[in-house]
Amino acid sequence: MENERISGGFSERRIARWAGSRAERRSDCIAEEVPVAMHYNGRSFAVMMATPQDLEDFAIGFSLSEGLVRSIDQLHGVDVHRRLEGIELAMTVSPEAPAARIERTAERLLPGRSGCGMCGMSELEKAVRQPAPLRCRGTFSAAALKRALRELPEHQPMNAATGAVHAAAWADAGGRILLAREDVGRHNALDKLIGAMWHAGIVPEDGMLLITSRASYEMVGKAATVGIGCIAAISAPTTLALELARSAGVCLDAFARPEVFNVYTHEDRLLD
């Protein structure tokens, strides 16, 4: 599979900007948002509102983090089809992949909105998936995390232009950000990053995840499902996110800034 990357992710529009008693005509950068349909072996599973960038990363990361494939070997191909109404990601999976056994009653019944990770799930037991405990529980350096947090704004070009998108970034054990992805939806940004990590051959246990959103249960669940053991969120956590992180063995930090952050779970994994 060849990684497709579309430049930009935003468009310019002419606007009237009011300052005081005068209006000034100028250009403004607006984040792109389109429906992206996820299809597995010809069957529709979900429609997500997303930025039309890094689409193959999105398909791979979504499949892994949602447990639709147990390993990347079960995903045989991703085809991008641009339709008048949006974009279709047509994925071919092996017969043993969970995605190959999607029943019509298990499909998401509503479009997945850009701010919602589980919109349209029809049953409570399917809405909250408990990730398995991490097998590898290494330690991380607080100094490295601070370095990564300082670097994070440099890896957010779409947000710098529009002020409208989230980012998910991957930093190595030394705090160097190696990969970052942006999207109007925080879950989409994380899925795209997970897909990019697979393309780059990055081992999830070897570094830290930074997200520019709150630490919701979906974000923690997706990260833990693929083996990420340290998460730093710019905003707040939720109680369910803390419970998932604690049971899965994830070190969860929130309200994260370069000089101050709160460690909510497994604080023994973050060293001075």
Rounded CA-CA distance 263/146 in Å is 13
62 closest CA partner among 130, 1, 118, 128: 118
What contacts 134, CB < 8 A, 6 or more positions away? 205, 224, 227, 229, 248, 249, 250
136 belongs to the catalytic site: no
The per-residue DSSP string of 200-254 comes to: HT--GGGSEEEESS-B-HHHHHHHHHTT--EEEESS-B-HHHHHHHHHHT-EEEE
The catalytically annotated residue of 116, 119, 230, 251 is: 116
Q: Three-state SS for 171?
A: strand
Please give the structure tokens belonging to residue 169.
């970034």
Task: Please list the active-site residues.
Answer: 116
